[in-house]
A and B are shown apart, each in its own frame.
Chain A
Amino acid sequence: MPEFTFVHAADLHLDSPFIGLGRLPEGQNQIIEELREATFRAFETVIDLCLREQVDFLLVAGDVYDGADRSLKAQLRFRDGLRRLSEAGIQAFIVHGNHDPLDGWADAITLPEGVYDFGPDLESVVFEKDGHAVARIHGISYPTRKIGNRFGLGFQRDGDEPFQIGLFHCNAGGDTRHDPYAPRTVSELVESQLDYWALGHIHESVVLRPAEPFIGYPGNTQGRHINESGPRGCFVVRVTAAGLLDGLPEFVATDSIRWLNGDVDITGVESLDGLIARIEGEMQEMTDRAEGRAVVTRITLRGRGALHGALTRPNACRDLLDELHALGSARSPFLWVEKLVLRTRPDVDLDARRGAADFLGDLLGLIDSIRQSPEEMAALRGELADLFEHTRASKFLVPPSDDALRSMLDEAESRCADLLLEGDD
Chain B
Amino acid sequence: MRIAEFHIDGFGRLANVSMAEVPSGLSIVLGENEAGKTTLLEFLRSILFGLPSRKQKEFYPPLNRGRKGGRIVLRNKHGERIIVERFEGKGTGPLTVTLPDGSQGGEAEFRQLIGSATDDLYRNVFAFSLSELQSFESLKTEKVRDAIYGAGIGIGRKTITQIIQELTKQAGELFVPGGSTKAMNQLLSRIEDHGRQIKAHERDQDEYERIQRELADCDDNLGRIQTKLKQARERFQRVGLLQQAREDWLTLGDCGSQLQALPLNESLPVDGVRRLDGLVTERRGFRDQWDQTKSQIGSDQTSLAAIDVDQVLLHAAKEIHRLDRGLELHEKSQQELLSLTTERELAEQKLDGMLRDLGDEWDEQKLTSFDLSVPVREAVEQCRRACEGAKRAVGERKLEWELAGQELAEDSRDEGDARSRLEALSRPLASLDAAGIRRLQMGWERFASACDDRPRVAQDCETQIGHLNDTLRKLGAHWNEARLRDFDTSLSVQEQMLAHQKALADLRSEQQEAVRRVQESQQAGSDAQSDLENAEAVLAAMPTCEVQDAARLADSQRAYRTMRSQLNQNQQRQADLAHCDERLQDFDAQIARQHQEAQRQTFGLPAWVPPVVLGVGVAGLLALNLGRDDWVTGGIVFGLFAITALAIALARRTLAVRTERQHADRAQAIIDLQQRRQQLDQAAQSLRSQLADAESVLRESALAAGFANIPHGRTLDDAADSVERQLALLQQRQPVEQKRNDAQAAITKAKAALDRARTAEAETTKRLNAAKEQWRQWLARAELPESLTPESGISILGRLDAAREQLKAIDRERDRISRMEEATREYESQLEAVALASGLQAELPKESREAVQFLVAQLQAQEKNAQAVEEATKVLAEAVKKTAQAQTKTVKAEELYQAALSLEQKYQQQWSDLRQQLGLRDSLTIDSAPQMLQVIERARDQCVRVHDLREQEKSSRAIIDDYGREVRSLCKTTGRAEPTDAEVSKAVSDFANELDQAEQAHRDAEILRKNLDQLKDRAKLLERQIGQRQDEIDAILKAAATTDEESFRVVAADYETRQELDRQIRQLELRLLQLAGSTNAVQALKDELAQATPDGLNAERTTLEATIKAMEQQQTDAAGERGRLREQLDRLEKSDEVSRLRIEQQADRAEFATLAEEWSVLKIATRLIDRARAKYERERRPGVLKEAERYFARFTNGNYTEILAPAGGDQVLVLAPDGSTKEIGQLSRGTAEQLYLSLRFGFVKSFVDNSEPLPLVFDDILVNFDAGRARATAEAILELSQSLQILLFTCHRTTVDLMRDVDGGVPVYALKGGCFACIS
Contact = CB atoms under 8 A, between A and B. Distances in A.
Interface of A: 15-24, 32, 35-36, 69, 71-73, 76, 106-108, 314, 339, 356-363, 366-367, 370, 380, 383-384, 386-388, 390, 392-393, 396-398, 400, 404, 408-409, 411-413, 415-416, 419-424
Which of B1134, B1156, B1168, B1175 is most buried by chain A, counting CB atoms within 10 A of its CB?
B1168
11 contacts: A15-B1142, A17-B1143, A72-B1133, A108-B205, A359-B160, A367-B1168, A386-B177, A387-B175, A397-B1152, A408-B1157, A424-B157
Contact of B1150 (A19, A36, A421): A19
A12 to B, nearest CB: 15
A359 B153 contact: yes
A77 to B, nearest CB: 10
A21 B155 contact: no
Contacts of A398: 1153
B217 interface: no
B1269 to A, nearest CB: 34
Nearest to A75: B205
Nearest to A390: B177
Interface in B1142-1186: 1142-1154, 1156-1157, 1159-1165, 1167-1169, 1171-1173, 1175-1176, 1179-1180
B1228 interface: no
A76 B1138 CA distance: 14
A380 B1160 CA distance: 10
Contacts of A22: 1147, 1150-1151, 1154
Contact of B1139 (A73, A412, A419): A73
Nearest to A361: B154
Given A71-B1139, A396-B188, A409 B157 contact: no
Instruction: Please report whether the interface of chain B is mostly helix, strand, loop or mixed according to DSSP.
Output: helix
B1096 interface: no
Contacts of B199: 69
A408 B1147 contact: no
Nearest to A421: B156
A409 B1168 CA distance: 9
Nearest to A68: B202
Contact of B1176 (A19, A108, A362): A362
Contacts of A359: 153-155, 160, 1172-1173, 1176
A300 B478 CA distance: 77
Contact of B209 (A108, A358, A370, A380): A108
A106 B205 CA distance: 7
Contact of B205 (A72, A356, A396, A408): A72
A397 B1153 contact: yes
B1062 interface: no
A388 B156 CA distance: 33
A412 B1176 contact: no
Nearest to B1145: A17
A339 B1150 CA distance: 10
B148 interface: no
A108 B208 contact: yes
Contacts of B155: 358-360, 420-421, 424
Nearest to A71: B1138
B905 interface: no
B157 A422 contact: yes
B209 A412 contact: no
Which of A108, A388, A404 is most buried by chain B, counting CB atoms within 10 A of its CB?
A108
B65 interface: no
B192 interface: yes
Contacts of A386: 175, 177, 1163
Contacts of B1143: 17-18, 32, 35-36
B212 interface: yes
Contacts of B1303: none
A362 B1169 contact: no
A360 B155 CA distance: 7
A60 B180 CA distance: 46
Contact of A23 (B158, B1142, B1147, B1176): B1147
A106 B208 CA distance: 10
B222 interface: no
Interface in B1177-1228: 1179-1180
Given A21-B1147, A23-B1147, A72-B1133, A396 B166 contact: no
Contacts of B1172: 359, 362-363, 366
Contacts of B1161: 408, 411-412, 415
Contact of A358 (B154, B1139, B1168): B154
A345 B158 CA distance: 20
Nearest to A398: B1153
Nearest to B192: A392
A384 B1161 CA distance: 9
Interface of B: 153-158, 160, 163, 166-167, 170, 175, 177, 184, 188, 191-192, 198-199, 201-202, 204-205, 208-209, 212, 1132-1136, 1138-1140, 1142-1154, 1156-1157, 1159-1165, 1167-1169, 1171-1173, 1175-1176, 1179-1180
A400 B1157 CA distance: 9
Contact of A380 (B1132, B1138, B1145, B1164): B1164
A420 B1138 CA distance: 48
Which of A19, A359, A404 is most buried by chain B, counting CB atoms within 10 A of its CB?
A359
A416 B1169 contact: yes
A380 B1151 CA distance: 23
Closest 6 CB pairs of A and B: A358-B154, A424-B156, A423-B157, A363-B1172, A412-B1164, A412-B1165
Contacts of A415: 167, 1161-1162, 1165
A69 B170 CA distance: 37
A367 B1171 CA distance: 10
Given A15-B1142, A71-B1142, A415-B1165, 11 more contacts: A36-B1140, A69-B201, A72-B1132, A73-B1139, A107-B209, A356-B154, A358-B153, A362-B1176, A419-B166, A422-B156, A423-B156
A32 B1143 CA distance: 9
A18 B1165 contact: no
A37 to B, nearest CB: 9
Contacts of B202: 69
Contacts of B160: 359
A409 B1164 contact: yes
Contacts of B1168: 363, 366-367, 370, 412-413, 416
A153 B1159 CA distance: 48
A36 B1139 contact: yes
Contact of A419 (B163, B1154, B1176): B163
Contact of A357 (B1133, B1160, B1173, B1180): B1180
B36 to A, nearest CB: 40
A23 B1151 contact: yes
Contacts of A69: 198-199, 201-202, 1138, 1142
Contacts of A356: 154
A17 B1180 contact: no
A396 B1151 contact: no
A351 B1255 CA distance: 40
Contacts of A339: 1150, 1154
A339 B1155 CA distance: 12
A126 B1147 CA distance: 45
Contacts of A367: 1168
A418 to B, nearest CB: 10
A396 B1140 CA distance: 19
Nearest to B163: A419
A379 to B, nearest CB: 9
A35 B208 CA distance: 26
A17 B1142 contact: yes
Contacts of B1156: 387-388, 393, 397
Contacts of B1132: 72
Contacts of A76: 1133
Contact of B1133 (A23, A73, A387, A412): A73
Contacts of A423: 156-158
A422 B204 contact: no
